[in-house]
Structure 1
Amino acid sequence: MKKKLVKGVTDYFKESFKTGPQHIFLSPGRINVIGEHVDYNDGFVLPAAINKYICFAVSESGTSQCTFIAKDLNETYSFDLNDDLKPTDIMWANYILGVLYQLKERTSNLKGINVVFSSTIPMGAGLSSSAALECGVGYVFNYMFDIGLSKEDIALIGQKSEHTFVGVNCGIMDQFASVFGKKNSVIKLDCNSLEYEYHKADFKEYSLLLLDSNVKHTHLTSGYNTRRQEVEQGLAILKEAYPGIKTFRDCNEEQVLALREKLGETIYKRCHFVVQEIQRVLDAVEALEASDFNKLGALMFATHEGLSKEYEVSCDEIDFLVDAVRQDENVLGSRMMGGGFGGCSINLVKKGSENSIIERIKAEYKAKFGITMKAYKIKISKGTSLYKR
């Protein structure tokens, strides 16, 4: 798959620019094993880069002109580095322009490049193709013109690009996972301090399977903003009652339970989920370290239950995908992944059982919703890097 992607991009580059590329780069998508909706609630997340990539074929243009060809869309965007860079109507170009805007503020070493890029990261499935694009572009320029950026710089530039040129107020997890990914390792990341540690994720006789609901409900932005307000209100009430609490990390389940009446049922449910989910991430790290995959699977199911019933960011289609594997002896755990209201479920399954699971659920899902489910078998891979040919 990777070789095929690289060959396709290289051939297209030769066809477009009448010469071979100087370099090939790969920038991966990401999953989050557990730790959903706690990145903005002072919790930890447990992401990993995966073997779905944006591949960039790149050469210097010899001028200040940059030409980016999006092979999959058959679209080209060109601009001059000396021009004032501003957002454009071409959405994918804004991810690139936002990165370059920041690079121009940091260095005068930049030169024009010719690029062809293509992706195996499914769009709209919640696997962060946007972060892969931003971080890939940052990495390419850093490598080619020796800007001296750290991996953390590249991730932060990607995030800021999305805030300023795309208008999405995203957290740092996606970019961080794309750049810092390590083969067979998950990253326990503190989204506040950006402190991180790697933990082994050798799933042995198990593998990760994503089932894509192929739906994206429109509640995502409104639901997300409402949840943020609700948990902020809840935290303020908890702090008032318990002066020792600064963040949800300092809070335990008993304290939330004791204030159930004062919080009101909705805010109680939101806060209860957050406190439990922060603990589940720590428990999941222990389970991975001990290769206790049954425990990890149980934690995934528990997270989904919380996301669906307490945080209320799931939807019928995703609930169906999780419920459909609950009694399957080949599935240890399943949960909604990402912001919610659609996207994928992530499943921990026995190796070799993937095809039969996909076939069964696909038929049941189609019968229930009239929608064709997609599925992705994934492995945990290394982060954004130069491809050695």
Structure 2
Amino acid sequence: MNSLENSSYDGPLGDLVHRLTQSFTTEHSRPPQWIVAAPGRVNLIGEHIDYNDGYVLPMAIERYVAIAAAPRAEKGSRVASIRSVNLNECDQIDLDELPKPSLPPKWTGYMGGVFAGFQSRMGAEKFSQLPAMDVMFESNVPIGGGLSSSAALEVATATLLEVVSGITLGLEEKALLCQQAEHDFAGVPCGIMDQFSSVFGQQNAFMLLDCRSQQIRHVPFSSDHVSVLITNSNVKHELSGGEYAQRRAQCDSALKKIGAASWRDVTSGDLESNKSSLSEIEYSRARHVVSEIERTQKAAVAIESGQWETLGELMYASHHSLQHDYEVSCCELDLLVEIARGVGRAGGVYGSRMTGGGFGGCTVTLIESDKVVEVSEHIQKQYKKQCGIDAQLFASLPAKGAHTVSC
């Protein structure tokens, strides 16, 4: 591939890669040999149903984790010496004795889990041929914003190992390897959406992902008149009790009581006829899952037919369900959605909802493209006025998935 200087990268990714290349060269007195990138994602609709066999409708965003690397100049032990630019921290992974899962996880655990998974795919003998490396990464995916910064780091790491080893994984295999790293090394029982989005993302298309069959249908999104606005609340509530795992367990318990093999086999009628056998919490969680699966399918149809007002109403309904039935929203996210709703159709807003795991993070808003600046300023001003926090807003088109930038 051509060098970065001869490439056509511009915008947020081009700026990111340019900074990272300069930082790597300054620190190691030589340019990187390999540069890869993997995007974060925003989920337009279909929340907390990827681990419940549902459909999700994310897009890769124009915010990336970029990794630069080169063989180590120093002789000695086989390690990957890693610097996080964002954290201004260094660590290393011993390539001859890969890390084991530990809790609480370190940031290198996300990468170490991918190294371990890659070794199991390659075999120990081939993996032993990997060179010691100097590695540096930087991210412009908001951390803790529900935009899958961890998945982007995992997928970028797997993409780096593909380039360094010359062994290309299948796209699905790569995504599942990274999901397993999140399970084992971060202790998060996530579904497949985050890693699949980062791997399979396409420009100008949402990804309708069937989380049961793992089949993907790209839904074209190329309207010049409609944009996706992402608003980072800049709050992340630290809650005890493992809420993510707790809700997954509640869903599993409800499904077992209903007597179905999958949530995809459960209709709203089935849920109502089994309501007496469920606890109040189980019923609420189940109602979200069943209704959100239905909303996501309707949303894909609305995008394909350009029915933006219908899509907006589905987004509002999704937020209400996440707020009341699944109880994963928070006052700041609710405020951002209400500010957007207050702007309304007259002001260019079709719909808005929280996105990601919840308890903070981001909202996603569907908006007329020529109103993005005006509405962004209004949301930022009102949010600051009402809760004293500066929100960060940016619009994004569906972006390209993980790829090699330079080698």
- TM-score by structure 1 length? 0.92
Q: Distance in 1 between matches of 2:201 and 2:241?
A: 27
* Cα contact 2:83–2:89 (8 A) shared by 1: yes
In percent, how many aligned pairs have the same letter? Answer: 38
Q: Distance in 2 between matches of 1:318 and 1:254?
A: 31
Aligned to 1:180: 200
1:238 Cα deviation after fit: 2.4
RMSD over equivalenced CA pairs, Å: 2.1
Q: Secondary structure at 2:367's aligned position in 1?
A: strand
Superposition map of 1:203-214 within 5 A: 203-214=223-234
* Cα contact 1:220–1:339 (8 A) shared by 2: no
Residues 309 and 155 of structure 1: is their aligned pair in 2 closer, same or farther, counting only changes over 3 Å?
same
Task: Write the letter of the residue equivalent to 2:52.
Answer: N
1:171 Cα deviation after fit: 1.8
Q: Secondary structure at 1:356's aligned position in 2?
A: helix
Q: Distance in 2 between matches of 1:231 and 1:83?
A: 38
Q: Secondary structure at 1:219's aligned position in 2?
A: coil
> Residue 54 of structure 2: which of 26, 43, 48 is its match?
43
Task: Identify unmatched segments of 5+ residues in structure 2.
Answer: 1-11
Aligned to 1:257: 272
1:267 Cα deviation after fit: 2.8
Q: Distance in 1 between matches of 2:400 and 2:164?
A: 20
Residues 226 and 56 of structure 1: is their aligned pair in 2 closer, same or farther, counting only changes over 3 Å?
closer
Deviates more, 1:99-108 or 1:375-384: 99-108
Q: Secondary structure at 1:48's aligned position in 2?
A: strand
Aligned to 1:102: 117
Aligned to 1:357: 375
1:201 Cα deviation after fit: 1.9
Residues 388 and 22 of structure 1: is their aligned pair in 2 closer, same or farther, counting only changes over 3 Å?
closer
**Structure 1 residues 206-230: Cα deviation after superposition (integer angstroms, max 9, x where no partner):** 1011111111123376333332233
Aligned to 1:159: 179
Residues 99 and 344 of structure 1: is their aligned pair in 2 closer, same or farther, counting only changes over 3 Å?
same
Q: Secondary structure at 1:318's aligned position in 2?
A: helix
**Structure 1 residues 171-204: Cα deviation after superposition (integer angstroms, max 9, x where no partner):** 2211111011111111111223322221112243
Aligned to 2:45: 34
Aligned to 1:24: 35
1:264 Cα deviation after fit: 4.7
Give the paired residue count.
384
Superposition map of 1:206-355 within 5 A: 206-219=226-239, 222-239=242-259, 245-328=260-343, 329=345, 330-355=348-373
Task: Write the letter of the residue equivalent to 1:51.
Answer: E
Q: Distance in 2 between matches of 1:7 and 1:140?
A: 18
Task: Identify unmatched segments of 5+ residues in structure 1.
Answer: 240-244
Aligned to 2:100: 86
Residues 170 and 265 of structure 1: is their aligned pair in 2 closer, same or farther, counting only changes over 3 Å?
closer
Residues 74 and 171 of structure 1: is their aligned pair in 2 closer, same or farther, counting only changes over 3 Å?
same
Q: Distance in 2 between matches of 1:142 and 1:221?
A: 37
Q: Distance in 2 between matches of 1:70 and 1:322?
A: 33
1:75 Cα deviation after fit: 2.0
* Cα contact 1:104–1:110 (8 A) shared by 2: no
1:55 Cα deviation after fit: 1.4
